[in-house]
Chain A
Amino acid sequence: EVQLVESGGGLVKPGGSLRLSCAASGFTFSNAWMSWVRQAPGKGLEWVGRIKNKIDGGTTNYAAPVKGRFSISRDDSKNTVYLQMNSLKTEDTALYYCTAISPRAGTFDYWGQGTLVTVSS
């Protein structure tokens, strides 16, 4: 059974930093493209960014609102993907979902349950 378990969310002040983790199991993590999607309270889904597997170059891509502030990395030995969030703004407040992408179909095939990030003074 595929499982994605996010952790690391919490309350942080504007301008602060936070690192989210997502532990994966039930599939070959090293082959997977991984992505983060967020959802502000009562709002819709917003793509945050993506990291390819190492075979495909391990490159990242980010949404415009987070580019230069957020970074995604992975540790295949730990089956874990990370989202480093710096210079946080109040508008980054959201539930952050870890997802596994099917690169061929362009679909978010698996989702975690999310971890809540609240940016507030």
Chain B
Amino acid sequence: SSELTQDPAVSVALGQTVRITCQGDSLRNYYGTWYQQKPGQAPVLVMYGKNNRPSGIPDRFSGSSSGNTASLTITGAQAEDEADYYCNSRDSSGDPVAFGGGTKLTVL
């Protein structure tokens, strides 16, 4: 199955650490990929592979994976990190077909 499950909403106090998780069978075979989407904007790639950040993504973002779960951790969350976060994974075709339902991160 290519279904990915995320918690709908997570909150974190400013400057604290938060982990956003994503579960799915495909994550046993493929690393999860993470996208950040702010209101009215297109998604932006923030994490991919084992723990890779595209250029321009702050190093407070990190990724990990275990079993059928991928995680995105923000260490020292900032107000500008408030956004929707979507995980994504490939299926057996190799295409990145599956998105999680998204997690709305609120920074308090």
Residues of A whose CB lies within 8 Å of any CB of B are 35, 44-47, 50, 61, 63, 97, 101, 103, 105-109, 111-114
**Docked-complex contact B45 and A106, CB < 8 angstroms:** no
**Docked-complex contact B94 and A108, CB < 8 angstroms:** no
**Docked-complex contact A50 and B42, CB < 8 angstroms:** no
**Which residues, 64 to 108 on B, are CB-close (under 8 Å) to A?**
86, 88, 90, 93-102
**Docked-complex contact A47 and B97, CB < 8 angstroms:** yes
Q: Which of A44, A50, A63 is in CB contact (< 8 Å) with B102?
A: A44
**Complex Cα spacing A105 to B100, Å:** 18
Q: Which residues of A contact B44 (CB under 8 A)?
A: 111
A sample of 27 cross-chain residue pairs with beta-carbon separation below 8 angstroms, ordered by A number, consists of A44-B99, A44-B101, A45-B35, A45-B37, A45-B43, A45-B88, A45-B99, A45-B102, A46-B99, A47-B98, A47-B99, A63-B97, A97-B42, A105-B33, A105-B48, A106-B33, A106-B94, A106-B95, A106-B96, A107-B88, A108-B35, A108-B43, A108-B45, A108-B88, A111-B43, A111-B44, A112-B42
Tell me the number of A-to-B contacts counted with CB atoms below 8 Å: 58
> Can you list, as one digit per residue, whether each of B35-58 has a CB less than 8 Å from chain A (1) or not (0)?
101000011110011001010000
Say how far A100's CB is from chain B's closest CB, in angstroms: 11
Q: Is B30 an interface residue (CB 8 A)?
A: yes
**Docked-complex contact B100 and A44, CB < 8 angstroms:** yes
**Complex Cα spacing A103 to B90, Å:** 11
Q: Which residues of B contact A106 (CB under 8 A)?
A: 30, 33, 48, 90, 94-96
Say how far A84's CB is from chain B's closest CB, in angstroms: 19
Tell whether A50 pairs with B99 under 8 Å between CB atoms, given A45-B86, A109-B45.
no
Say how far A3's CB is from chain B's closest CB, in angstroms: 12
**Contacts beyond the supplied A105-B52, A108-B33, A108-B45: 8 A-B pairs with Cβ under 8 Å:** A45-B37, A45-B88, A97-B42, A106-B90, A108-B35, A108-B43, A109-B45, A111-B43
**Complex Cα spacing A108 to B49, Å:** 13
**Docked-complex contact A107 and B33, CB < 8 angstroms:** yes
